[in-house]
Homo-oligomer: A and B are copies of this chain.
């Protein structure tokens, strides 16, 4: 049965990845989930670097994530900054130390080697995985956390000048490449 075989493959790869991440984090006294949190926070935009967004991304409960963040803050890999508009919200900023740890640890050496050696820059793999992820998210009513520039709210106003149709804020070229919790894929025309 093809579905079972596919599932077994995914599970197996997921375990390998977790094991490697565990080993990579061990050198810094970090668990897999810590590295994952840092990686997300480093690649998301300013609307999405909050505990709530991270909670959705990781698929855990907010209490659990709150603990994770506490540890990262104690280790000096993370800094909390209160939001200026909404005083309940804090923003999570990866420190220089945090970036250094991430750069050293992710992707784990094993994956870096394997992924780099893939034929055609792994284009086939990326296409297949993207399709699967989209399908999963659609079935799950889950946020996609895609890059800002691929969102249906993304508006081009000129060369290098963009705007988010949701927040109405202007966006830089760098902004457009960051992950956003409000991301919605553009509907595929027939």
Contact = CB atoms under 8 A, between A and B. Distances in A.
Interface of A: 2-19, 21, 36, 39, 43, 58-60, 106-107, 110-119, 121-122, 124-133, 135-136, 139-140, 145
A58 B11 CA distance: 10
B116 A3 contact: yes
A148 to B, nearest CB: 15
A110 to B, nearest CB: 6
A179 B45 CA distance: 44
Q: A12, A59, A131: which has the most chain B beta carbons within 10 Å?
A: A12
A39 B5 CA distance: 11
Given A3-B107, A8-B43, A114 B128 contact: no
A127 to B, nearest CB: 8
Nearest to A116: B3
A31 to B, nearest CB: 13
Contacts of A2: 115, 121-122, 126
A128 B136 contact: no
Contacts of A140: 16, 110
A7 B9 CA distance: 16
Nearest to A129: B9
Contact of A115 (B6, B60, B115, B116): B6
Contacts of A128: 124-125, 128-129
A36 B36 CA distance: 22
A13 B132 contact: yes
B135 A118 contact: yes
Nearest to A121: B2
